Structure 1
Amino acid sequence: MPADAGANAITAANAAATAASPATPTAPTTRTLTGSTLAMLGGLAALGALATNIILPAFPAMGASLGVPVAELGAALSSFFLAFAIGQLVAGPLSDRWGRQPLVLGGLAVFIAGSLICAAADTLGMLIAGRVVQAFGVCAASVLSRAIARDLFDGAALARALALTMVAMAAAPGFSPLIGSALDSRLGWRSVFVALAVAGAALALHYRLSTGETHAPDRRQAVSMGKVLRGYLALLADRRFILSAGAVGLMTGNTFTFFAAAPRVLMGKLGLSSLALGLFFAITVFVVFAAGFLAPRLAKARGLRAVALSGIVIAAAGGAALMAVPGTSLAGFVGGIAVFLFGMGLVNPLATAMTLQPFGREAGAASALLGFLQMFCAALGTALASLPSDAPARLLGMVIATASVLGLLLFLQTRSPVKAGQ
């Protein structure tokens, strides 16, 4: 569908809905990617990563305050990931039935409540409970950021929106440890969770005022447990979805694996301080920035599939480099990671766009299932990279290279997407 025709169709649907019910929120009538829309999409996508990594520097203070060993605080991470993975499978289909706005605003309200529970926690159990509440709330924001992008954009515009959104997703885990460290040292660890609550409230206000509902009433579908399960099974059986979604899941899993394994390599083997580790994470963001800005431009000239394939190959080369460099070489580790992150920055937004492009009516369910696959691959990759090893950098390289090759084998079987209007 041409961009103008799509905009006119949405405008007509919104006009009819508004006439029937003045209180019904209207969807945007333009598909121009503005700074405000980008800030909204990036904020929704990045909030979950922010809530995960920002607490890491505060673990020692949290453990001392709650009277538990720091190692036991790992449950605050695992419980968050588990609830996040499960919750997004529910949030996506519900948004296809009831619209994006109730799920986004309701989810952010739940996230704010969970953050305040964590801030007030005086036991590990209460902290874990708050983290679970946080995850169930923020998973809706994260999964629906992609669905909202799919509501608003098609083709190259969708790829550009997702690429720029991924820049925000990369910045969140990269810079959040530095933010968490500053808050913890100046105001105490509880201020970290208060800051998350404030961020959730600000994002909810921005979304409500700038965007509102994007899923037109005539595109919504009735939802039931049986239909949801059949929908997920249908997506898993659809080659257009599972091939590219599998590749995206593997590459995203590689990214989570890198963040989980890097402290073991850089602090445990190479002797970097926690501040140096935080600075390293922050610097890596600029590699993903560069790839994220370059990806849509290359895709416009060479096509989504060709550039995404190149990104997977580059990421695999980065993993292979980690396997080859000496375990005590900081420059070799940084170089291999930079190559990997650049490749990941190319493939992730473009392959995600290819995955969601054919499923406009089921964008919520497709985005939810894609997110679940990403979290599953992240959990598997992290577990593999955490195995006992005298050469953790080489082990990380093996995981990255293997997952990238598997992603390449899947993606080679995809077809180039049909451009909007064809």
Structure 2
Amino acid sequence: MTIQNTGAGHELASARAPASVSADIVVLAALAAVGSFATSILLPSLPAIAKTLNVSTAAVASAISIYLAVFAAGQLVVGPLSDRYGRWKPVMFGLGIFVIGSIWCQFAADLPMLLIGRSIQALGACAASVLSRAVARDLLSGEALTRALAFIMVAMSAAPGFSPLIGGLLDSTFGWRSEFFAVALFGAIVALAYLRYVGETHRPDNAVSIQLGAILRGYWGLFTDLRFIAPAGAIGLYMGALFAMFSGTPRVLIDGLGFTPIQLGLFFAGTVFIVFGSGIAAPRLAMKIGHARATVVGLVIATAGGAALLLAHWLTPTIWSYLIPVLIFLAGFGMVSPLATATALQPFGDRAGLASALIGFLQMAGAAAGVSLTASIASATLAIGLVQAALATAGLILYLAGLRRM
């Protein structure tokens, strides 16, 4: 990698480093996966954790909700700090906190201790998520950025698909505490890889204010700029549609069609390959028909999947009447995620940390909305189809509204 001296004791990774960009992006993909890997690895172990800590499974599930809440809020702090102090320190500090929180959870003796550990975990993980995108924007632009973000987003999407299977295997072999050890080990490996292959990518800028008023004005400026909020808001809405599917699928497949938990885990793992394929194809399509048109294609495909699932509610329930619309939605989502993220980040290279943080917050807010809306409707297929169709349509309209400004 070509490097420059920052004059501050760290090396600044050059944006023109084609020889090692592949290694960079692999590390950034792993960095992006840290948070989502830790989110869902303990899902198969909730009953076992509840038994050990002598609480209900519903109470243990709060370890997931508190993780998501801290994760969402923490991003808004990490973003502007990384614009002021550079990326290297927040990444290393965040991964260090993540490892400490994971070890804390491993030795939790009661539920409050577990919840504290999960909060510490989330504080560290949010830095990894935000800065994976910001660092990519530091290093790359244009179609190269789109390709990198496609790989990063695939990793972020794959982690929650595979981590329950990994968690279930660890739980059945070594017990649920081993899951937190595995997560801590993963965080430590990513930190070492970041030191080796990425380093500093953004020169510290004392001109960037970290006073609350300045930060809020910065976020408001992004929120009211159609170049940002149209693609970023669309990502948040489509993330809500995705989590509507994640949260409602157990009701459809286990309660409705008699799937076992293992079969459900395999279903989720299988969906990763659809997102992977469409995510890799998205940059190639963008090169052929243009970035904006390719994004619209993805939006339309995902919206069609949501609409098809809504219509399937009135059909005889089978695995195919559910699976086909879900796969259509995921194919579109896999395209939208990297393309819209690149569109939102592209004009704001000088504020990449701030912009990435707001993208992450909108994603988490959308996910929370999707889960809440789906849970409020009794029929699972109607809930998922209605929420997916509504949020996807809203995302398509929002993106089209801002298209002329992009």
Tell me the TM-score range normalised by the shorter chain: over 0.9
Within 5 Å, give how 1:319-330 maps onto structure 2: 319-325=306-312, 326=315, 328-330=317-319
Task: Find the counterpart in structure 1 of residue 127 from structure 2.
Answer: 140
1:35 aligns with 2:18: no
Q: Which amino acid aligns with 2:11?
A: P
2:306 is aligned with 1:308: no
Q: Deviations over 1:123-162 (max 9, x none)?
A: 1111111111100110000011110010011011111100
Q: Which residue of 1 aligns with 2:148?
A: 161
**What residue number does 2:394 align with?**
406
User: What amino acid is the match of 2:342?
Assistant: A
**Offset of residue 171 of structure 1:** 1.2
Instruction: Give 1:219 deviation, angstroms.
Output: 9.2
Secondary structure, counterpart of 1:357 in structure 2? helix
Cα distance in 2 for partners of 1:157, 1:208 equals 22
Cα distance between partner residues in 2 of 1:68 and 1:398: 34
Contact 1:308-1:351 at 8 Å conserved across structures? yes
Deviation sequence 1:146-189 (CA, Å, 0-9, x none): 10010011011111100111111121011111100000000000
Deviations 1:54-109 (A, max 9, x none): 10001111011000111111210110011001100000000000000100000000
Matched to 2:337, the amino acid is N
Out of 232, 235, 246, the position equivalent to 1:245 is 232
For the Cα contact (< 8 Å) 2:248–2:383, is it kept in 1?
A: no
Q: Give me the whole-angstrom Cα distance separating, in 1, the residues matched to 2:22 and 2:265.
A: 28
Q: Which amino acid aligns with 2:399?
A: F
Rounded to whole Å, the distance in 2 between the matches of 1:86 and 1:297 is 34
1:351 corresponds in structure 2 to: 340
Give the secondary-structure state (helix, strand or coil) at the position aligned to 2:348: coil
Determine whether 1:45 maps to 2:42: no
Matched with 1:194 is: 181
**Structure 2 CA distance, aligned partners of 1:279 and 1:69?**
26
Counterpart residue number, 1:394? 382
Cα distance between partner residues in 2 of 1:171 and 1:382 = 19
- Tell me how far 1:244 sits from its aligned partner: 1.3
Matches within 5 A, 1:151-230: 151-217=138-204, 221-230=208-217
Three-state SS of the structure 1 residue aligned to 2:349 is coil
Q: Corresponding residue for 2:276?
A: 289
Which amino acid in structure 2 is aligned with residue 364 of structure 1?
G
Partner residue in 2 for 1:3:
none
CA contact (8 A) 2:83 2:205 kept: no
**Is the Cα–Cα contact under 8 Å of residues 91 and 368 in structure 1 kept in the other structure?**
yes
Deviation, structure 1 residue 35: 3.0
Distance apart, 1:202 and its partner CA? 0.3
* TM-score, length-scaled by structure 2: 0.96
Matches of 1:305 and 1:197 in 2, distance apart? 39
8 A contact 2:96–2:188 mirrored in 1: yes
CA distance in structure 2 between the partners assigned to 1:220 and 1:180 by the alignment? 45
CA contact under 8 A between 2:253 and 2:259: conserved in structure 1?
yes
Q: Cα gap change, 1:219/1:348 in structure 2, threshold over 3 Å: closer, same or farther? A: farther
For residues 350 and 416 of structure 1, the distance between their equivalents in structure 2, rounded to whole angstroms, comes to 16
TM superposition score normalised by structure 1: 0.92
Aligned residues of 1:316 and 1:401 also touching (Cα < 8 A): yes
Show the counterpart of 1:332. 321
Between the aligned partners of 1:323 and 1:352, the Cα distance in structure 2 is 27
How far 1:29 moved relative to its partner?
5.0
Distance (Å, rounded) in 1 between the aligned partners of 2:162 and 2:10: 38
Q: How far did residue 394 of structure 1 move?
A: 2.1
CA contact (8 A) 1:98 1:220 kept: no
The structure 2 residue matched to 1:131, chosen from 94, 110, 118, is 118
Look up the match of 1:365. Answer: 354
Question: What CA distance in whole angstroms lies between the structure 2 residues aligned with 1:176 and 1:219?
Answer: 40
Q: Give deviations 1:213-263, integer Å, cap 9, x for gaps.
A: 001346962322111111011111111111111111111222222212211
SS in 2 for 1:26: strand
**2:304 is the alignment partner of 1:317:** yes
- Counterpart for residue 257 of structure 2: 270
Aligned residue identity for 1:408: L
What is the rounded CA distance, in whole Å, between the counterparts of 1:340 and 1:195 in structure 2?
Answer: 32
Return 217-226 or 345-354, whichever deviates more. 217-226
Aligned residues: 403
The 2-side partners of 1:323 and 1:302 are apart by 30
Which moved further from structure 2: 213-222 or 369-378? 213-222
Farther-moved stretch of structure 1 (117-126 vs 221-230): 221-230
Instruction: Give the CA RMSD over aligned residues.
Output: 1.7
Matches within 5 A, 1:64-79: 64-79=51-66
Q: What are the superposed Cα offsets for residues 338-360 of structure 1, whole Å, 9 maximum, x if unpaired? A: 00000001111101100000000
